[in-house]
Amino acid sequence: MPDSTTPTFPAPGAPVPDFDMPASRGRHVRLADMRGRPFILYFYPKASTPGCTTEACGFQEALAALGGTGIPVIGVSRDSMKAIDTFADKQGLDFPLASDATGTVTEAYGVWVEKSQYGRKYMGIERATFLVDAEGRLVRTWRNVKVPGHVAEVMTAAATL
């Protein structure tokens, strides 16, 4: 049984936690606005870092290849809107990148976790992706994502919805 420090991810088939966040280019993203269509919600640690840039650009390329007819993608980090807007503009990202500055959404999705680097422990976002169906239920989760090949795997799974 998880204790209060163990993150809890939504279970497959369960409704995903609600969200309502400001997003890049003056947009706002809400779970309520996504009802009726499947979507991809991915969490990334920090805007403008190498792995996050590769992942975001991978989603942008996949969406461009679908000619705008593909499944919606929303990226989420705890960065400020200024950092997110700079990142989106510099990389030419057309899909929304949301700011969870309060941490409410990252905690609800179980991706705010203790990390360790060079022996230093700190809290940060676990790179994770959630595939959600048109009724707002979780279809699949990818945790501790390794960026190479990840976008292709997610888009293949999304094509089955």
The phi, psi pair for 19, rounded to 5°, reads -150, 150
- Of the residues 52, 73, 98, 138, only one is catalytic, namely 52
Rg of the Cα trace of the chain?
A: 15
Q: Which residues pair with 121 in a beta bridge?
A: 116
Q: Name the nearest CA neighbour of 131 among 44, 37, 57.
A: 37
> Cα dihedral angle (158, 139, 8, 154), rounded to 10 degrees?
-20
Residue 52 designated active-site: yes
User: Measured between alpha carbons, how far is residue 37 from residues 2, 13, 67 in Å?
Assistant: 32, 15, 17
Sign of CA dihedral 132, 35, 100, 55: positive
As annotated, the active-site residues are 52
